[in-house]
Structure 1
């Protein structure tokens, strides 16, 4: 039994979290609820405290090469801004870090749904048949992605957002909390959909829309 316990302990991979803000706290809880990974610490350029939820803040990104040499091989990125998240992924990848998809155990995923590397699916989110979540996306608490929804790289579906069948969300787009879409609309790359908006027609790349129905802001 002791040998088996030792073997399992050795198999637990270490993960760092880049970002010590609110999203970082959410990811600490996700990783703990998920199990199977050991959080090595947080990395942040301007931390507000020396630790968060009992996890130490190890310093800024200058500590990353040392962490990699020490055997920390995995990272998740707790940065809300899409462009900053993608840039951080490039820096971490250059150092040899891998990016697991992190899915909370309370999330519901169809067997045919797929979640890309570095993406996070928070509590009670629902991913239906054929859903494709790209790399480094955030599917926030309680978001619903119905059949055949596609999220481009670093897209973010806010808490309680609802994407019915066939919706396409471009890279880096953001849907605010409680936003909803008509089936089969397209949200362009880098677009922002405001909190509680109702999207009934395609949103161009880079547009900012809000309201019911959603209109350009």
Structure 2
């Protein structure tokens, strides 16, 4: 039976766009009347709250207030529009090659899920993206109030797929300790480096190109997939 595959989003299916995010936050700062560098720093420092607690407007209002700003409702709304537009652009940046990999997996009847540590604007933009219709389950930290590497978020994805974690393959770049989190619940873990070499210390199998995944999953289970030794799949 085809194995369920669970993907990370940023730096796995799409580029992380970290510099673009900082640029947009700088523009948001000018709208709400605070220093761009200060708001960028506040965004970085508040990442955990933004992943599991605050929506876009709440984030803008709270962080601007902490920096001495007093933005109007209109300013907060305008700043939020910039952040939402960025989320749509990042999701739209998915390559045809990546979409082709997902289509190949679906054609071979692999159940597909996504787990993303993502703020609310990404979750809002997801249903309109080209990625969304290719997944059976999508879990965003901002919606479930859980974030990787919490084992509960991995178990939730498996539960929503109707399988147990040990049946699943998890594919991610390794940000936020996600590889160890997936392994801790018994998932087979593949670290991908196509977009970013995020966790070079990870000792398990490495997938250099996402395009190799469908053929890899067709092979009988072998030590190259189940092993925790340092190996690279090309």
Q: Same fold (TM over 0.5)?
A: no
Measured against the shorter chain, the TM-score band is 0.3 to 0.5
Q: TM-score, normalised by structure 2?
A: 0.33
Q: Which has the higher helix share?
A: 2
Q: Which has the higher contact order (CA 8 A, sep 6+)?
A: 2
